[in-house]
């Protein structure tokens, strides 16, 4: 097939591009300038550098008309802390562009549109009492994105939404988002963490699931893509083993204390005129819960192996720069002083 990966220069898009190319598909990466370094992708992969927001509809339709499948791996993730109100930022980043591309893909005759989203939309459905989309601008944007894109696709194009949990793995030249946690474990400081846990997945399994969605799904569907349900304490102990830390004792912070501390984070953002996509004071309920799900349905439908996490976590640690212990403590102390001084 001819497949367009929008956001292919990002972490997940990069691995999806390699997997699709490995399977023999003609892949084009669409991203913002500048061009990625030579050798980032196989020579068979084409690179298109455009700001799609600046393309007119006829230009976008023409660009998409040669593809059977489109993968949307762009947008803002939940770590973003934009200027308040955050809802506007996440709407622009996650909803507006995805909706426009879905409509253009439909007009252009694309058969499958694979939308990479968040497993928080899954828990917004299965935990209605938490009202996650109501309290968190990021989750609201992902929910609106998924619902609008599915409606636009109708029955003429398969809209395949992949709801992803925490992803492990590495990409050349990119520091993993797990770097602060790895630095914490390496520092030798006593380990304090919360109750709860999450499903976790390797980026190789995500790439396989994306390829499976492009190849095998012929109707609009929603899948939770994952590998293993892991308690936070189990993750920290695994990081201790990988970093050769001898003391793997994890002290649990009581749920009530987590909630009280999270209010300080929200207060700090407010004083800075910013707003997180996940409001810490409410998100503490999710953080201390077991955000687990079953992968059997998605694994059967998409054909991914779900066998990469054991290798992906050490790869993630290896890609995190190792700081001297005093550097970690200097950075930690500076942030603590800022928090106390501003609150």
Q: Tell me, what's the pLDDT at 325?
A: 58
Residue pair 32/49 in contact (Cβ under 8 Å)? The answer is yes
Specify the CATH architecture of the domain 2-342: 3-Layer(aba) Sandwich (3.40)
94 DSSP assignment: I
Report yes or no: 21 and 42 within 8 Å, Cβ to Cβ.
yes
Look up residue 83 and give its two tokens.
């200027």
Reported as a pLDDT band with limits 50, 70 and 90, residue 263 is very high
pLDDT at 343: 39
Q: What is the pLDDT of residue 303?
A: 98
In which residue are the tokens 């993730």 written?
Answer: 77
pLDDT category at 196 given cuts 50, 70, 90 is: very high
What confidence tens digit (pLDDT) does each residue in 201-253 have?
999 999 999 999 999 999 999 999 999 999 999 999 999 999 999 999 999 99
In three state form, how does the secondary structure of the chain look?
CEEEEECCCCHHHHHHHHHHHHCCCEEEEEECCCCCCCCCCCCCCEEEECCHHHCCHHHHHHHHCCCCEEEECCCCCCCCCCECCHHHHHHHHHHHHHHHHHHHHHHHCCCEEEEEEECHHHHHHHCHHHCHHHHCHHHHHHHHHHHHHHHHHCCCCEEEEEEECEEECCCCCCCCCCHHHHHHHHCCCCEEECCCEEEEEEHHHHHHHHHHHHHHCCCCEEEECCCEEEEHHHHHHHHHHHCCCCCCCEEECCHHHHHHHHHHHHHHHHHCCECCCCCHHHHHHHHCCEECCCCHHHHHHHCCCCCCHHHHHHHHHHHCCCCCHHHHHHHHHHHHHHHHHHC
Mean pLDDT of 129-143: 98
**Rounded to the nearest 5°, which phi and psi values hold at 60?**
-65, -45
Measured distance CA(40)–CA(148) in Å, rounded: 34
**Annotated domain spans of the chain:** 2-342
CA nearest to 72, candidates 153, 134, 136: 153
CA angle (219 as vertex; 217, 223 as ends), nearest 5: 65
| Per-residue model confidence as pLDDT tens digits over 21-55 | 999 999 999 998 888 999 999 999 999 998 888 99
167, pLDDT greater than 80: yes
- Look at residue 53 in the predicted model and tell me its pLDDT: 87
With CA atoms as reference, report the closest residue to 214 among 110, 309, 143, 121: 110
**Angstrom distance (rounded) from CA 75 to CA 277:** 13
Residue-level pLDDT at 323: 75
Determine the angle formed by the axes of helices 255-271 and 280-287, rounding to 10 degrees.
150
pTM over cut 0.75:
yes
Residue 90's pLDDT band (cuts 50, 70, 90): very high
């Amino acid at each position: 097939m001819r497949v367009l990966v929008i956001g292919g220069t990002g972490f997940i898009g990069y691995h999806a591009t390699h997997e699709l190319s490995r399977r023999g598909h003609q892949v084009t990466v669409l991203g913002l300038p500048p061009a990625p370094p030579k050798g980032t992708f196989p020579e068979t992969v084409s690179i298109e550098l455009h700001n799609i927001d600046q393309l007119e509809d006829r230009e976008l339709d023409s660009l998409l008309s040669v593809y059977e499948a489109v993968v949307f791996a762009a947008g803002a993730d939940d770590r973003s802390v934009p200027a308040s109100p955050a809802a506007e930022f996440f709407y622009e980043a996650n909803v507006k562009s995805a909706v426009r591309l879905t409509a253009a893909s439909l007009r252009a005759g694309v058969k499958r549109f694979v939308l990479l989203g968040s497993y928080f939309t899954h828990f917004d459905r299965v935990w209605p009492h938490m009202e996650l989309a109501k309290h968190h601008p990021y989750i609201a944007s992902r929910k609106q994105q998924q619902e609008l894109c599915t409606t636009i696709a109708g029955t003429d194009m398969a809209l395949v939404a992949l709801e992803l949990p925490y992803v492990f793995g590495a990409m050349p030249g990119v520091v993993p988002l797990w770097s602060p946690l790895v630095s914490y474990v390496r520092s030798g400081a006593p380990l304090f963490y919360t109750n709860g846990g999450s499903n976790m997945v390797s980026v190789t399994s995500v790439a396989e699931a994306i390829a499976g969605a492009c190849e095998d799904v012929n109707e609009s569907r929603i899948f939770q893509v994952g590998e293993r349900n892991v308690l936070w304490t189990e993750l920290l102990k695994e990081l201790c083993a990988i970093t050769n830390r001898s003391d793997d004792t994890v002290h649990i912070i009581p749920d009530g204390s987590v909630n009280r501390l999270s209010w300080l984070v929200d207060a700090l953002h407010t004083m800075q005129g910013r707003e997180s996509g996940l409001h810490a004071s409410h998100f503490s309920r999710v953080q201390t819960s077991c955000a687990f799900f079953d992968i059997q349905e998605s694994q059967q439908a998409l054909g991914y192996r779900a066998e990469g996490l054991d290798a992906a976590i050490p790869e993630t640690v290896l890609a995190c720069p190792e700081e001297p212990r005093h550097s970690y403590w200097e950075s930690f102390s500076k942030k603590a002083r800022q928090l106390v001084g501003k609150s």
